[in-house]
Amino acid sequence: MTEPDPYAEAAVRQQQDAVRHPAPLYVQACPGAGKTRVIVDRHLAEGQGRRGRAVLSFTNVACSEVAQRCREAGKPELAEFPNFVGTIDTFLWRYLLRPFLGSGKLWRRIDSWDRIDASTEVGTGPNRHKVFLNDFQWSREPGAARCTARLQPRKRAIKSYNALSKLGLLDDAAKAAVDKQRALVAEGYVTGHEIRIFALHNLQRRQDQIIAMLSGRFREIVIDEAQDCSAHDLAILGQLHHAGMPLVFVCDPDQAIYEFRGALPARIREFGKSLEGRVDLRGNWRSSPAICGLAATLRPTATARPADSPVGPNRTEPAGILLIGTVGSQPDEALAVFIEHADALSIRSENRVVLAHAGTSLPTTTGVSGSQPPAHHAARVAWAAAVAKSNPKNATLRQFAYDILQRALLRYWFAEADTTGRSVEAICELVGLDTWRIRQLAGQLIGALPDLDQGTFTDWCKEASRQLGLLPPRPGMKRLDNSGSLVARGKLRNKTPRNASGVPPRGSASGVRASVVHQVKGEEEEAVLLLIPSDTRIDGLVNAWTTGNHPPNIAENLRVLYVAATRAKRLLAIALPEDAQDLVAAHLKLRDVPFELTTTRRSD
């Protein structure tokens, strides 16, 4: 018989406290603490009453998990009326915004500006650049009169970003983006960012009415992954709390990685502490002792605490952290070393993941999920074809791909000017089409579009345009102009259609999945390879890590590493330039975290 583990027993007691403690309640949890389990158990414990519970999270995936667990427990009704299990965006839209919208305008909620290809242009003549609203980071402090937008040097926008930066036009781009956003809002379009601004505005003006409605429907509101709350979210929740709405605020402040939205750990902690009750979850059910130990070294001295207790099945895992020294950035070489070690631990390929802060740092031999469509119109259609043909489980991604194909059909048959900056529904209204018809045609188009792994992108575009021409939205109709034909341009011409689409084939060369850290929040995997590239930030990053002093410009980078490292259950490998490897190794030794050193030189 195995000995009872006092740490595991303590962790179970903490979880039970969090399940039973009445709201208002702050649950501050470590990575792998079983936050979702606690939320679901709390929901199941009370069963169905006259009033429901609102369980809010930030992603559809997290919400589906809660709903799925209710079904598995034989209580599917707990995910339905009068309960609400959904995203915070939907909650705010449904209860704080929609009831108060005037009848003079048709409002359209979209999950990103990419859904309507919203873009603007900056500069003049040969220096004119098209920039997409979705490539800006949007923020606004509560009470501020205007939003701020900052173009991001992401893969899709990097060319325009560099050109505009050289021309000193980044501020003009930001202004143009804000003007365009205001114009689109005036037309009735809102994303999550605008929903929050309007929701707070409504709450400030109609608090009594909103509270009466919410408290009549819900006995408490649970916020999962609350470290992602923006400054607006916190202002809204603060007001609900002060008005007597019982809140359960569940979070790990050290995993706050959306700082631009105002999600700062100190703000999150302060908000949590303003709620009367508090339970801390300190047992990590996911990771090995070495991984829990390493995670503690990534927390700043200012909020340091001892390593969390490993209490799950990996609490006896002997493997230490694997530090892979690289010469410069060598993602493919580091991957080869990682695979060797994961093989030695008999960890299967499907249980391994490679992570980096930015997609550009990931190895070429991995299956990077191309979750953002490219900017170029024809490449976007190829992206949508690749995604739709792969029939993804992620409903949002699938819907996004269908949306692009519907827009491609509309743009092919109608004028470009009628289709950009409008949702599919709005275009259909404008041209007098049934949305059902266009959805049906998009379904046919998926089957008709040519293979993405044959020929050049130029050939693909020609054949794809021909197929679009075989699917008129109205029988016998003629095209309004030629602007919607698919044309391969520049370097894309001779690429394979799949390369142009940016979506890797299923089953990558290495068989290992790769992702940017922001996309794996809340997930876990047996083995994780974390890539720290050799770039200008590395010295500052390693200095902050090893001193525990996290300056504001680097603190979030360390939290991104923290999120990445804490996804690992058994094997955590970190690839970093050799100089940095020495410093990190010395630091881990000082903190008694077991590690093994290796280098990519071995596989030369």
State the binding site.
29-36
Among 29, 173, 322, 404, binds ligand ATP (CB under 6 A): 29
Assess 12 for contact with ligand ATP (CB under 6 A).
yes
Instruction: For 267-281, give one letter per residue: b (16+ CB within 10 A) or e.
Output: bbbebbebbeebbeb
- The reply on whether position 412 binds ligand ATP by CB under 6 A is no
Contact between 34 and ligand ATP by CB under 6 A: the answer reads: yes
Of 27, 33, 122, 427, the one binding ligand ATP by CB under 6 A? 33
Q: Which of 5, 17, 36, 546 binds ligand ATP (CB under 6 A)?
A: 36
- Contact between 37 and ligand ATP (CB under 6 A)? yes
Q: For ligand ATP, which is the closer residue by CB, 228 or 333? A: 228
The answer to whether 253 contacts ligand ATP (rule: CB under 6 A) is no
Decide if residue 566 touches ligand ATP (CB under 6 A).
yes
Between CA 542 and CA 581 the distance in angstroms is: 9
Residue 418 or 525: which CB sits closer to ligand ATP? Answer: 525
Which residue type occupies 554? Answer: I
The binding track of 294-313 with respect to ligand ATP, each residue x by CB under 6 A or -, is ------------------x-
Q: What is the DSSP string of 108-146?
A: EE-S-GGGGT-EEEESSGGG-EEEEGGGEEEE--TT-SS
Stretch near ligand ATP under the rule CB under 6 A, chosen from 29-37, 47-55, 176-184, 258-266: 29-37
Binders of ligand ATP among 54-73, rule CB under 6 A? none
For residues 568 and 354, is the Cβ–Cβ distance under 8 A? no
Q: Pull the structure tokens for residue 256.
A: 């706050």
32 vs 325, beta carbon nearer ligand ATP: 32
Listed in sequence order, the residues at least 6 apart from 80 whose beta carbon sits closer than 8 Å to its beta carbon are: none
Per CB under 6 A, the segment of 34-42, 111-119, 317-325, 595-603 that binds ligand ATP is 34-42
Tell me the two tokens of residue 53: 């519970």
**Long-range pairs, 462-470, Cβ under 8 A, ≥24:** 462/486, 464/378, 464/381, 464/382, 464/385, 465/412, 468/408, 468/409, 468/412, 468/413, 469/412
Does residue number 272 form part of the binding site for ligand ATP (CB under 6 A)? no
Q: What gap in Å lies between CA 178 and CA 192, rounded to an integer?
A: 15
In the complex, minimum distance from the CB of residue 314 to ligand ATP, in angstroms, rounded to a whole number = 10
User: In this chain, which of 153, 392, 472, 522 binds ligand ATP, going by CB under 6 A?
Assistant: 522
Selected range binding ligand ATP among 32-40, 353-361, 437-445, 490-498, rule: CB under 6 A: 32-40
35 lies in the site for ligand ATP, by CB under 6 A: yes
Stretch that binds ligand ATP, among 35-43, 85-93, 179-187, 315-323 (CB under 6 A): 35-43
User: Which H, E and C letters describe 556-582, residue by residue?
Assistant: HHHHHHHHHHCCEEEEEEEEEEHHHHH
Bind-site residues for ATP: 29-36
* 479, 525 contact by CB (below 8 A): no
> Among 15, 309, 458, 501, which residue interacts with ligand ATP (rule: CB under 6 A)?
15
- Whichever of 21 and 493 has its CB closer to ligand ATP, that residue is 21
Structure-token pair, residue 324: 């892979």
Q: How far is the CB of 55 from ligand ATP (least distance, A)?
A: 14
Min CB(74)–ligand ATP separation in Å = 18
| Smallest gap from residue 313 Cβ to ligand ATP (A) | 8
Instruction: Count CB atoms within 10 A of the CB of residue 160.
Output: 22
When binding is defined by CB under 6 A, the residue of 58, 136, 189, 285 that contacts ligand ATP is 285
- Percent helix, percent strand, percent coil in the chain, to nearest 5: 50, 15, 35
**Cis omega (within 30 of 0) for bond into 24:** yes
Distance in angstroms (rounded) separating the CA atoms of residues 420 and 433? 17
In this structure, which long-range contacts are made by residues 490-494, counting pairs with CB atoms below 8 Å and at least 24 apart in sequence? 492/376, 492/378, 492/379, 492/457, 493/456, 493/457, 493/458, 494/456, 494/457, 494/458
Instruction: Find out whether 147 and 138 touch, Cβ atoms under 8 Å.
Output: yes
CB of 302 to ligand ATP, least distance (A): 21
Q: Count of residues binding ligand ATP (CB under 6 A)? A: 18
Binding ligand ATP (rule: CB under 6 A), the pick from 14, 23, 31, 123 is 31
Q: Considering the complex, what minimum distance in angstroms separates the CB of residue 73 from ligand ATP?
A: 14
CA 178 to chain CA centroid, Å, is 23
Query: Cβ closer to ligand ATP: 251 or 368?
Result: 251
Give yes or no for residue 286 binding ligand ATP (CB under 6 A). yes
Its sign, for the CA torsion 127, 131, 136, 138, is positive
Q: Which span sits near ligand ATP by CB under 6 A: 27-35, 86-94, 172-180, 270-278?
A: 27-35
Question: Which of the stretches 30-38, 150-158, 461-469, 472-480 binds ligand ATP when contact is defined by CB under 6 A?
Answer: 30-38
Minimum distance, C-beta of residue 295 to ligand ATP, in the bound complex (Å)? 9
Q: Which residues contact 576 (CB under 8 A, 6 or more apart)?
A: 323, 324, 325, 326, 532, 538, 542, 584
Give the dihedral sign, CA 142/144/146/150: negative
What angle is formed at CA 566 by the lines to CA 564 and CA 571, rounded to 5 degrees?
A: 95
Residue nearest to ligand ATP (CB): 34
CA 218-220-225 angle, to 5 degrees, is 120
Question: Where along the sequence are the contacts to ligand ATP (CB under 6 A)?
Answer: 12, 15, 29, 31-37, 252, 255, 285-286, 312, 522, 524, 566
